[in-house]
Amino acid sequence: MSELAEAELLELYRRMVLLRVFDERALVYHRQGRIGTYAIAWNHEAIQAGATFALGEDDWIFPSYRESPIGLVRGMPPATILQWWRGHPSGWWNPLDWNVASICVPIGTHVPHAAGLAWGKKLKGDPGVAMVFFGDGATSEGAFHEGANFAAVMQAPLVLLCNNNSWAISTPLSAQTRAETLADKAVGYGMPGVRVDGLDVLAVYEAAREAVERARSGGGPTFIEAVHYRAAPHATADDPRAYIDLERVEEERKHECVGRFEEYLREAGVLDDAFIAQARADAEDAMRAGIAEAEAEPPPDPALLYEHAYAEPPPEIAALLAKELRHG
Ligand SMILES: Cc1ncc(C[n+]2csc(CCOP(=O)(O)OP(=O)(O)O)c2C)c(N)n1
Ligand SMILES: [Mg+2]
């Protein structure tokens, strides 16, 4: 049985359900034309909920697009994240409000940002740590290398959380690296590297807890590789049937992480039908309210497009803006 108390296990389960329901509803909202492209996070909930469960409220989270709904675990309203996917400025939260950085779409470019923030915490004598999420594909990017190396050299309190779902859109892991495991890369940076089952929420939590403890106590960064196999399309614009192993996907879906944790908690006598139904109903209500709130917001002011781009807009932009404003 886990070291976590019953109430903590239930909270962890509740967070997984919240992330799962967000993902399922977001896909429906996309199909209904109510949000734009959406990066599906189905079956990544054990990684996202498990790793962040090891953080304190003052610690920082740096998400990639795959972790877009991760602010939910900090109480961020679903409407904010849905607005981000709608391309509405009210989806651009102030990172300081939640200690959650902006969702990073360029692959790996947020790793140096997270390393820098973590180093800053160290310089200030602040006990906070940063956790940065990125995929297997990101480990081939220069920015990942720069961030990881910098964090290690500076002994910055950073947790590098690699979501190894075996695919970077249609590029398989085998075409990404000759390394036997991604965790092996940690050796080259001089930091500990661990591999965990990415569908086992308690294993992810335990690895993250150790890494956070090490970072907070001055032991520097840790690389965690959470291994699984992407069981859904990369995003709503992707059709993986052209390249993925469909039998493997079927198999993965049978052992999906929320159901797996549910089963474990039921057997341990911690979880019952009533709690499961309530967790789902609460999450569904939050999503219904979230999309209604998002859609009720007025369209953004077109002038915002240029607001931080020019001190004095050139004449052609000023003319375009005047036209936009007339039609808006
Ligand atoms: C710098 C950069 N290059 C290319 C892309 C296009 N792109 C978007 S998602 C993606 C795959 C990334 O795969 P991975 O890092 O494994 O993350 P996953 O999507 O599997 O979570 C690529 C190449 C991008 N967003 N940024
Ligand atoms: Mg990947």
Residue by residue, pLDDT tens for the chain (328 residues) are: 578 999 999 999 999 999 999 999 999 999 999 999 999 999 999 999 999 999 999 999 999 999 999 999 999 999 999 999 999 999 999 999 999 999 999 999 999 999 999 999 999 999 999 999 999 999 999 999 999 999 999 999 999 999 999 999 999 999 999 999 999 999 999 999 999 999 999 999 999 999 999 999 999 999 999 999 999 999 999 999 999 999 999 999 999 999 999 999 999 999 999 999 999 999 999 999 999 999 999 999 877 877 788 888 899 888 887 777 665 5
Catalogue the active-site residues: 230, 234, 243
Q: What count of other Cβ atoms lies within 10 Å of the Cβ of residue 133?
A: 28
Cβ contacts of 309-312, under 8 Å, gap ≥ 24: none
Report CA-CA distances (Å) from 174 to 162, 179, 182, 199, 245. Answer: 16, 9, 11, 21, 14
Tokens 């474990």 sit on residue: 264
Kindly list the distances between the CA atom of residue 141 and the CA atoms of 136, 177, 298, in Å, as whole numbers in the listed order.
Answer: 10, 11, 39
- Helices (DSSP H) in the chain: which residue ranges? 6-31, 45-52, 78-85, 95-98, 110-124, 142-153, 185-189, 201-216, 246-254, 257-267, 273-296, 304-307, 315-327
* DSSP per-residue letters across 124-136: HT----EEEEEET
- Tokens in use for 120? 């800053």
Q: Can you tell me whether residue 45 is helix, strand or coil?
A: helix
Rounded CA separation 138/63 (Å): 13
Distances (CA, A) of 307 to 51, 98, 101, 275, 324: 37, 24, 21, 47, 14
Which pTM value belongs to this model? Answer: 0.96
Instruction: Please name which of 161, 300, 162, 157 lies closest in space to residue 217, comparing C-alpha atoms.
Output: 157
Burial class of residue 167, CB neighbours in 10 A (0-12, 13-18, 19+): buried
Phi-psi sector, 108: left (phi>0), alpha (psi -120 to 50), beta: left
Give the position, in ligand 1's atom list, of the atom nearest the Cα of 138.
15
C-beta 138 within 6 A of ligand 1: yes
Distance separating alpha carbons of residues 170 and 102, to the nearest angstrom = 25
CB of 106 sitting under 6 A from ligand 1:
yes
The C-alpha angle 185, 190, 193, rounded to 5 degrees, equals: 50
Model pLDDT for residues 75-102, shown as the tens digit of each residue: 999 999 999 999 999 999 999 999 999 9
Question: Does 143 contact ligand 1 (Cβ within 6 A)?
Answer: no
Q: Are 321 and 303 in contact (CB under 8 A)?
A: yes
Q: Is 228 in the pocket of ligand 1 (CB under 6 A)?
A: no
- The span from the CA of 83 to the CA of 19, in Å, is 16
Q: Which of 44, 107, 139, 182 to mutate to test the pocket of ligand 1 (most atoms within 8 A of CB)?
A: 107
Residue 104: phi, psi to the nearest 5?
A: -100, 120
Tokens matching residue 50: 């498990």
**Nearest ligand, measured from the Cα of 167:** 2
| Residue nearest to ligand 1 atom 7, measured at CA | 107
Nearest atom of ligand 1 to the alpha carbon of 106: 26
Question: Tokens 């607005």 correspond to what residue?
Answer: 83
Instruction: Record the tokens describing residue 82, joined without a space.
Output: 């849905």
How many Å apart are CA 19 and CA 46, to the nearest integer?
10
| Residue showing tokens 């990101």 | 138
The rounded Å distance from CA 270 to ligand 1 centre is 38
User: Among 45, 165, 169, which residue has the most ligand 1 atoms within 8 Å of its CB, making it the best to mutate?
Assistant: 169
Compute the distance from residue 244 Cα to the ligand 2 centre, in Å.
13
Q: What is the reported pLDDT for 1?
A: 59
